[in-house]
Amino acid sequence: MEELYQEFIIELYKNPLNFGKIENADYHAQIFNSTCGDMIDLFIKVKDGVITEAKFTGKGCAISQASSSLFTGYLKGKKVSELDKITKDDALGLIKINLEKNPSRMRCALLPLEALKKALRSP
């Protein structure tokens, strides 16, 4: 099963979902992973306290790009008031690959969560 999901990760890397910028985003943050060079920009649009659109741009490994693709989809429909409750385990659960033995790849998978936390702190 994990092998099939790894193929899905590669497909998301080649054809990411939710890729692009949102003009006049309500929340935006850029995160750079100095360890490996991965970078993402996260854009979030909100209406009536609910995320209506979430997109990302960036470059990096298959894990960071696939994770960003899945994470932006996960955010849609969430209340802004609930965003600070999203955990590392929630974000890693989206990628469905055990990264415990590879901490550098785990950081790649957590880039979109890190971007969200940064975006929520920004005015």
Q: Please state the length of the chain.
A: 123
pLDDT tens digit sequence for 43-102: 999 999 999 999 999 999 889 999 999 999 999 999 999 999 999 999 999 988 777 877
Amino acid in position 118: K
Instruction: Classify domain 2-121 at the CATH topology level.
Output: Sufe protein. Chain: A (3.90.1010)
Say what the pLDDT of residue 50 is. 97
What are the residue ranges spanned by the domains of the chain?
2-121
> Model-level pTM?
0.91
Angle at 78 between CA 21 and CA 58, to 5 degrees: 25
Say what the pLDDT of residue 35 is. 82
Radius of gyration of the chain (CA): 14
